[in-house]
Amino acid sequence: MPVVRPSEAVVHEMHGARFVSYATPRTGSKELCAWRGEIPPGTKAPAHSVSREEILHLLDGELLVTLDDRTTRVTTGDTLIINPGATLAVENPTDRTAVTWVTTSVGLEAELADGTRIAPPWTH
């Protein structure tokens, strides 16, 4: 049984946020990826569309999330369902780090507004 200890998680940084990767094909997962996201105060991630469904659960803090041009405040305990093709933007307008747990399918890619495609290493 694969067990990924916190000391074995791989940390990635992008657009001002930290992605602490636990479940990927490199750690034994066949279909799903999971990571802890840490979004510092004042961070505003660029809008991007996703190629696969993502489930984002807010463990701690508060975020402003824009999903397909609709903005909502997400607080501790809330879960956001992001469908494939949706455009997502995340902002932390508070003075403390927001912590998320995100799950998606292996192979997720994101496309920025300028057409740049990103294959996040924590999803492959």
Q: CATH code for 6-123?
A: 2.60.120.10
Confidence class for position 1, pLDDT limits 50, 70, 90: low
| Residue extents of the structural domains in the chain | 6-123
Q: What share of the chain has pLDDT > 70, as a percent? A: 99
Q: Tell me, what's the pLDDT at 14?
A: 95
List, for residues 88-107, the tens digit of each pLDDT value: 999 999 999 999 999 999 99
- pLDDT digit string, tens, across residues 36-54: 999 999 999 999 999 999 9
Q: How far apart are CA 17 and CA 91, in angstroms?
A: 10
32 burial via Cβ count (<10 Å: 0-12, 13-18, 19+) = middle
For residues 37 and 88, is the Cβ–Cβ distance under 8 A? no
In this prediction, residue 2 carries a pLDDT of 84
The CA-to-CA distance between both ends of the chain, in Å, stands at 20
Mean pLDDT of 80-90: 97
| DSSP assignment of 10-56 | EEEEETTEEEEEEESGGGT-SSEEEEEEEE-TT-BPPPEEESS-EEE
Is residue 58 predicted with pLDDT exceeding 70? Answer: yes
Q: What is the pTM of this model?
A: 0.94
